[in-house]
Amino acid sequence: IMLTCRIAKMAFLAYLSATVSGNAGRAAAFRVGGSASAVAGRTRARSSLVDATAMSYLGGKHRGVAAVAGTAAVSAWGASRLASSAAQCASSSTSLSSTVEAVDAGPATVVEHPAFEVIQTDTVSEFGADAILYRHKQSGAELLSLSTDDDNKCFGITFRTPPQDSTGVPHILEHSVLCGSRKYKTKDPFVQLLQGSLQTFLNAFTYPDRTCYVVASQNTKDFYNLINVYADAVFHPRAISDPMVHAQEGWHLELENVEDPLTYKGVVYNEMKGVYSSPDSLLQREAQQSIFPDNAYGVDSGGDPVVIPDLSFEQFAEFHAKFYHPANSRIFFAGDDDVAKRLEIMDEYLSDFQDSPESKPGSAIEWQKKRYSEPVKVRHPYPVSDKEAAPGGEPDTHLLMVNWLMNDKPMTSREEITVTVLDHLLMGTSSSILRKTLMESGLGDAITGGGLSDELMQATFSVGLRGVKTDNVEKVEELVVETLKKVAEEGFSEDAIAASMNTIEFQMREFNTGSFPKGLSLMLGSMREWVYDRNPTEGLKFEKPLADLKESIAKDGAKVFTDMINEMLLENSHRTTVEMFPSKSLEAEQLKEEKDRLAKIKESLKEEDLQNIIAKTAELKKLQASEDSPEARATIPSLDLSDLKKEVTEYPIDVTENESNTGVTVVRHELGSTSGIVYANLAVDVSGVALEDVALLPLFTRIMMETGAGEYDSVALSRRMGTHTGGVSVSPMIAGVTPEGEAEGVVMAGEHFVTKLLMTGKSTSDKTDELFSIFDLILRDANLDSQAKIIEMLREAKSSKESGVQGSGHAVANARIRSRYSAIGYINEKMSGISSLDTVKALLEQAENDFPALLARLENIRNTILEQSTCRDGMILDITGDAAVFEKIGPSVENFLAKLPGDSQGDKLQNFYSEAHPWAMQAKKEMAAEAPLADEGFVVPTQVSYVGKGGRLYEVGEAVSGATSVISKFLGTGYMWDNVRVMGGAYGGFCQFEPRNGIFSFLSYRDPNLAGTIDVYDGASAALMKSAEDLENDPDALATAIIGAVGDMDGALSADQKGSVQFKRWLTRESPEQRQKFRDEVLNTKPSDFKEVAERLMALKDPSSAVVSSKSAFEDASKAGKSFTLKDIM
């Protein structure tokens, strides 16, 4: 991963790190924005269009913001390779022949408009899209219109915005333009859209060379509303005439009393302090700046916190004037909406401008020439705890990454897809040669860099290790280069090439973007060509370059790839090696530098200057605290309640217990079309595993995937998966269920739940036998006796978890809070929360010093899961496909069920719907000691805080109305947004409520405050009570809140997601009637519901806090009366 280069198709992907699993809608209080310099993710050329499957990793819909972290994680602990698709868990694909038939859309139908001229027409048969590229005659704007049959309509507008310095002006402007405009007069129309729209995507993100604004909706009226607000915002923002927006979103000096110290405040300023609290983010920044010393990529488009305060309002406004002219824009549409209407809407905004011939040349990106005659070495510090390592503990370690600039002229389409496959061969799976060699070397704990990044004008390749001891630093670079030399000499085997080719092809043809708009992926794919003044539709086509590559492989074999290794890597001296070394004093030095800088500024100011700052501070806070006028709010377009769908969407499901007397339950979801692909899940009961071994399940499931099985070693198994499937993964699952005989819609005691080992895979229907055979193989015969590999996994897990605490502290805090109130919360936290870090450390020690004992535990887990007499009773095969798929796979299903381990006439497991789960009672006994109701603080080196507080809002057995989802979102996008983000300066503030367990939590993200944020949380009940009173006289505001909540409930789902959603509904015994009742309650939410929740918040039972922050921040909080039980994490 190279910071600011690792942006790609999912620049917004790192936003996932700012969400909380299972309720991402609450993250709406994060502002658009993740700077390009704050985005993580591996990139690939053509997989730009499909890797969005990774975006659906958390499930549900992810609202609002863009990328936020240099090495941001998908979950609390992070996925090491964000932009990898879900399929890449294990490699994927089918055969080299086409797996899903391409659509021949025929010739494009040209729609004309007098204000536009047609530049070109095209048909992108790969995605059944008619494409017309227009130019607006008066303004010079270009508009690409893609007509598809997708009802999830997408609009985007992109400006080329190369920065000249690291003040972060593109990033700050991206935040700021959505803070009111010429037509839409509120302080923050973005928030109003979050609060009251059916949007399926509402976002903006900053790359190192461009800024994108994107909206999507399935509702046509809503879609047009979103387009109008965004178009007016980018062309006519309030921000360029109101310095208060720049002050709020960018930076300002804050002072309330003359005797107080000056402080810096600002959302982007604080966001970037959070980004650069991460060692990985610092590494990425230094790597990018080292490889691009001469062009726009050599500065930080997101902003360096040290440099951000150098940005004046005048420079900020000038940047907008220079780069936000329509002539410098690329406007994109995709979906089934009317093309003529698209042109009509945009003409309304574009006709305000005359052409600006200098705009495009003025934003051109200069090529970075390969000018290094020999590789360059760079060393920089990163902050570590000032505490000494405990006796026998591990010393602080280094991070090291080797980086290449791969090209200094445009690649052909054939070269782009070749380098994509080469990247997969080298880095795509745990068995890929470069990744495998580095991890098995023992020189470090985890991979840094993601290999190829190709979303900018020039591609880079970066790879290295973190957790490197001082004596091994030089060895890492040597190993990277020597491994590449060996590959160049020996080449790749035919089966390795076939597996990687099939993986890439399956991803492209499946085009599975999960719950995210397909149009967004199409936009990102086209933009990687269009933004550099090349043909946008060429960025979407893969059939010809793929066919050319196959032809070349058939002729020359591995030489196709070894030639590229030699040319772009080994014979390329434009290479840098960046080393980050630990510094115990850096955090203190940074704090001192900022304090000294501010003290010096204050000393230089006259009394009248200080009074002016005090006045400006008060003015800004008054503005932030003020309510929008009714007239201003009336300018924001909105839907009516009558526009909402009243019924819950149900998906097909057919359940057969004891199918064909096999003892296995089969669940089928027959959909209209799955393009010949079968999506299968095999759920195996794990309730017999002892609770003390539950924390091993994440390790156990990873072993199933990565150590080999039966006659297959790890490499052979990975290649088999890659050659025959679209991906296989294994994970533990725990889900609360509705007990038999109890009412639905009430808070559960948390004692009834199901626990499964979930094997997930996909393939074309003709490869179903292979998919099922792999399921059976890794379930029965995974190689558990692989000490070296298991030690490697545990070291990587330890490193990733430690990084996750710094980057996703809000999720860590939320999981910890919830672990105190229910057995399920406790068990989940035990497996994946902050307490699992201690478990991983203990397991690592056991693996190194007493592996037979660990092996015995792992073997016992497998023996327990596959207990002959009961295992089939706990097995469920869940399948999603279309009618043709089900007709074809019938014999495969029958054979698979017959061969599964266990006795088809065996004993029954306990009924988890009528009896408490065996883990529940023991978990409750452990909770008092392991998850006490206490205010806990977790200390890490960081410049920001992640503040969580929660408690029981509803008691066990109490009914929970669907209105709570309306109120929770209202609170998050209103009070929390205003007080934690706008006035507090945090990058995000939100709340989460889970009806099933009755627990409510407040959370903040990249927060400059700690004690003050808790005070905000404590004031939420009073604010909500006042809102309840106001809503009595404001039916429009109430309707807006309802619409926004419904928007979070509805969304576009991929075929596999539809099956998964319905499977979970069935598994948890949630009835269609209860779902409809909940929706009805949402639609009929009343002000009195707000009052009830306010009263409950005021009396929140057993509240407790969990905070991730720095030692100095906890010391300041203690002085403010907020005390915590502290634990040093790193």
Q: What is the pLDDT of residues 916-942, one digit of tens each?
A: 999 999 999 999 889 999 999 999 999
Q: Poorest-confidence range of 47-61, 173-187, 324-338, 864-878?
A: 47-61
Split at pLDDT 50, 70, 90, the class of 450 is confident
Encoded amino acid at 863, one letter: N
pLDDT for the residue numbered 73: 22
Collect all residues with Cβ–Cβ distance below 8 Å to 145 and sequence separation of at least 6.
111, 131, 132, 133, 134, 333, 339, 342, 343
Q: Taking the mean position of all CA atoms in its chain, how far away is CA 328?
A: 29
594 as an active site residue: the answer is: no
Residues composing the chain: 1130
Q: What are phi and psi of 614, to 5 degrees?
A: -60, -45
pLDDT for the residue numbered 515: 82
CA-to-CA distance for 864 and 30, rounded, in angstroms?
44
DSSP 156: E
Return the percentage of the chain with pLDDT > 90, whole number.
Answer: 86
**H or E stretch covering 705:** helix 697-706
Split at pLDDT 50, 70, 90, the class of 1102 is very high
CA-to-CA distance for 444 and 696, rounded, in angstroms?
23
Q: Is 144 helix (H, G, I), strand (E, B) or coil?
A: strand
Annotate 760-796 with DSSP letters as a single string.
EEEEEGGGHHHHHHHHHHHHHHB----HHHHHHHHHH
Q: What are phi and psi of 883, to 5 degrees?
A: -60, -40
Do residues 990 and 814 make contact, with C-beta atoms less than 8 angstroms apart?
Answer: no
CA-to-CA distance for 1005 and 988, rounded, in angstroms?
5
Collect all residues with Cβ–Cβ distance below 8 Å to 226 and sequence separation of at least 6.
155, 193, 197, 199, 202, 215, 216, 217
Task: Name the E strands within 509-636.
Answer: 575-583
963, pLDDT greater than 80: yes
527, pLDDT greater than 60: yes
CA-to-CA distance for 997 and 823, rounded, in angstroms?
10
Q: Poorest-confidence range of 381-395, 617-631, 662-676, 774-788?
A: 381-395
Collect all residues with Cβ–Cβ distance below 8 Å to 891 and sequence separation of at least 6.
none
Residue 706: both structure tokens together: 């990565």
Closest CA to 955 of 992, 993, 997: 997
Cα radius of gyration rounded to whole Å, the chain: 28
980, pLDDT greater than 70: yes
Split at pLDDT 50, 70, 90, the class of 394 is low
DSSP 187: S
395, pLDDT greater than 90: no
CB neighbours (10 Å) of residue 740? Answer: 12
Alpha-helical (H) ranges within 876-1010 are 883-899, 918-930, 963-971
Alpha-helical (H) ranges within 324-472 are 339-350, 359-362, 413-427, 433-440
Do residues 1013 and 813 make contact, with C-beta atoms less than 8 angstroms apart?
Answer: no
Collect all residues with Cβ–Cβ distance below 8 Å to 956 and sequence separation of at least 6.
747, 748, 749, 998
Angle at 261 between CA 257 and CA 266, to 5 degrees: 95
Q: Which of 126, 174, 587, 829 is catalytic?
A: 174
pLDDT for the residue numbered 1130: 77
Q: Poorest-confidence range of 18-32, 244-258, 394-408, 471-485?
A: 18-32
pLDDT for the residue numbered 389: 53
Question: What average pLDDT is seen over the chain?
Answer: 89
Do residues 154 and 527 make contact, with C-beta atoms less than 8 angstroms apart?
Answer: no
**H or E stretch covering 666:** strand 665-671
Mean of the pLDDT values across residues 481-495? 97
Task: Name the E strands within 390-495.
Answer: 398-405, 446-453, 460-468
Reported as a single tens digit per residue, the pLDDT across 728-756 is: 999 999 999 999 999 999 999 999 999 99
Encoded amino acid at 1096, one letter: R
Q: Is 91 helix (H, G, I), strand (E, B) or coil?
A: coil
Reported as a single tens digit per residue, the pLDDT across 1018-1041 is: 999 999 999 999 999 999 999 999
Split at pLDDT 50, 70, 90, the class of 385 is confident
CA-to-CA distance for 885 and 880, rounded, in angstroms?
9
Q: Is the pTM of this model over 0.85?
A: yes
23, pLDDT greater than 50: no
Q: Taking the mean position of all CA atoms in its chain, how far away is CA 873?
A: 36
Mean of the pLDDT values across residues 124-130? 93
pLDDT for the residue numbered 916: 95
Residue 976: both structure tokens together: 């929390």
Collect all residues with Cβ–Cβ distance below 8 Å to 557 and sequence separation of at least 6.
491, 494, 497
Do residues 17 and 78 make contact, with C-beta atoms less than 8 angstroms apart?
Answer: yes
Mean of the pLDDT values across residues 61-84? 24
Q: What are phi and psi of 552, to 5 degrees?
A: -65, -40
pLDDT for the residue numbered 17: 29
Alpha carbons within 13 A on the beta-carbon side of 541: 19
pLDDT for the residue numbered 514: 86
Encoded amino acid at 809, one letter: G
Reported as a single tens digit per residue, the pLDDT across 271-328 is: 999 999 899 999 999 999 999 999 999 999 999 999 999 999 999 999 999 999 999 9
Return the percentage of the chain with pLDDT > 70, whole number.
Answer: 90
Annotate 214-252 with DSSP letters as a single string.
EEEESSHHHHHHHHHHHHHHHHSBGGGT-HHHHHHHT-E
Mean of the pLDDT values across residues 902-922? 95
899: left (phi over 0), alpha (psi -120 to 50) or beta: alpha
What's the distance, Cα to Cα, between the start and end of the chain in Å?
A: 23
CA 129 → CA 125, 219, 518, 542, distances in Å? 6, 20, 12, 14
CB neighbours (10 Å) of residue 859? Answer: 12
Q: Is 116 helix (H, G, I), strand (E, B) or coil?
A: strand
CA-to-CA distance for 812 and 952, rounded, in angstroms?
19
Closest CA to 448 of 89, 91, 801, 80: 80
Split at pLDDT 50, 70, 90, the class of 109 is confident
Q: Which of 126, 142, 249, 792 is catalytic?
A: 249
79, pLDDT greater than 90: no
867 as an active site residue: the answer is: no
902, pLDDT greater than 70: yes
Mean of the pLDDT values across residues 624-630? 92
Q: What are phi and psi of 372, to 5 degrees?
A: -75, 125
